[in-house]
Amino acid sequence: MKKIVYLLIALSVIVVAYLLFQWVGNLQDHGSVLIGFNGWSIETSVVAFVVTLLICFSVFYMLFRLLGWLLKTPGRVKARGKNIKFNRSQDALIAGLVDSAEGNWEKAEKTLIKHVTHSGAPLIHYLTAARAAQSRGALAKRDEYLRQAADHAPGSEFAVGLTQAELHLSENQFEQAVETLSRLHSINPTHASVLKLLHQAYKKAGDWEGLRKLLPSLHEQKVLMEAEVKLLETEVFSAKLKDMAATGDVARIQEVWTAVPEHIKSMPGILAIYFAAMIDSGAGASIESDLVSVLSGRWNATLLALYSNLQTQDIDQQLVIAERWLPAHPNDTQLLNLLGRLNLKLGDLAQAEQYLRKSIAQEPSVQALQTLGDALFKEGDKDKAADCYKQGLVLASQQLDYYVGMVTD
């Protein structure tokens, strides 16, 4: 468009000059111009003067345009060089991303770093190079690229931090990941990606207390679905109870149990962990009534097994409670085994044998065969007792072979 305008102006000037010359040529007196300077004088016609003036103007104009062009040439050359380098860096970025996707880690790393100084997106170069470096096991290089990414891209703290945390997590460097993510979380407590990665880091590091404190944010920011949050809550408090159970400290176990939300306390799985922790810590008597109450309202094989292992002083009362459950669960082999053991402890060998034989008839178990052998031995029938012990050993051997086969497969 500019060239067309310049052409029109030039044509207009030529036309005007031509008309002017024609008009001057038709005059009888063409006129003259006298120029004097310091004793010198020049006289010429008006036409010659105008032509000379136009020629001088054109020459000076061209000289100034040429001078301007020469002055701008270094900048243009520099800009052109920058454009060439920029285009090369863009091509290098694409090539590096492709190599990284194809698993050519070392090649990708070299290509990305070689052209990073002229790139319009140095952050992407450094972060991709960091991933490539870690993939080939160069962790020192990875950390160097991450530092350079932060230095060359101000304001990219979250992008660099999230990448760093992801790389630490994939390398099982959980403490470093938690440290980085905790710093980002303090800056922006509602950042969804930070919350999600922090949840993963705490979980892999086994930091259940940190994860417990994070649960409200995970729920409020909808990082996890409601069902996932409830499942995670159960996992967190289950793990904390197991940790406390390992200490054997009844007070600390009860402290954790008090902090468990009511909707989680009703779950059989976490109830079993709590009751087992209390029993293993020697405080089974304090939870016996709660365990009986839960079993009476909701039958559960795991809780019944825990009740069977309670060391209680009042065996008669334990037998009364177990017999109260029998009408509702007449074929429960675990309950029949419990009744057999309780009757054996109280010396009612005939009743114990009856319960145990009924249990074995439905589902033979090592424990039931051993307990029946004990009852028969006390009755004086040593041959039958020995036969029960033998069957128990055979069954135990078969079960062991089965589990070993499962593990091997």
Cα separation, 384 vs 382, whole angstroms: 6
Residue 375 has pLDDT above 70, yes or no: yes
Whether residue 325 is predicted with pLDDT greater than 70 in this model: the reply is: yes
Q: What are 57-69's pLDDT values in tens digits?
A: 767 767 777 777 6
pLDDT at 90: 63
Q: In percent, how much of the chain has pLDDT > 90?
A: 20
Does residue 189 lie in a domain region?
no
- What pLDDT, on a 0 to 100 scale, did the predictor assign at position 125? 78
- Residue 375 resides in a domain: yes
Q: Quick check: is 361 in a domain? A: yes
Residue at 159 is within a domain: no
CA distance 232 to 252: 21
Domain-embedded: residue 351: yes
Counting every residue written for the chain, the total comes to: 409
pLDDT at position 262 is 86
- Write down the mean pLDDT value for the chain: 81
pLDDT recorded at residue 123: 78
The β-bridge partners of 36 are 41
Residue 83 has pLDDT above 90, yes or no: no
The enclosing domain of 382 has a CATH number of 1.25.40.10
| pLDDT confidence tier of residue 317, bands split at 50, 70 and 90 | very high
Residue 378 within any structural domain of the chain: yes
For the question of whether the overall pTM of this predicted structure is more than 0.75, the answer is no
Structure tokens that stand for 138 in this block = 């160069």
Q: Which of 94-98, 193-197, 356-360, 402-406 has the lowest mean pLDDT?
A: 402-406
Which residue matches tokens 């009476």?
296
Buried b (16+ CB within 10 A) or exposed e, 145-159: bbebbbeebeebeeb
Q: Are 251 and 219 in contact (CB under 8 A)?
A: no
Residue 367, in any domain of the structure? yes
Lowest mean pLDDT, pick from 29-33, 159-163, 373-377: 29-33
User: In the structure, what pLDDT confidence band is assigned to residue 340 with cuts at 50, 70 and 90?
Assistant: very high
pLDDT value of position 116: 73
- pLDDT tens, residue by residue, 157-187: 888 889 899 999 988 899 899 999 999 999 9
Confidence of residue 201 (pLDDT cuts 50, 70, 90): very high
**Chain segment 204-216, per-residue pLDDT in tens:** 888 888 998 898 8
Host domain of residue 343: 333-409
Q: pLDDT of 236-265, one tens digit each?
A: 988 899 888 888 899 999 999 998 888 888
- 269 pLDDT tier (thresholds 50, 70, 90): confident
Amino acid 73: pLDDT: 65
Residue 368 in any domain: the answer is: yes
Q: How many domains does the chain have?
A: 1
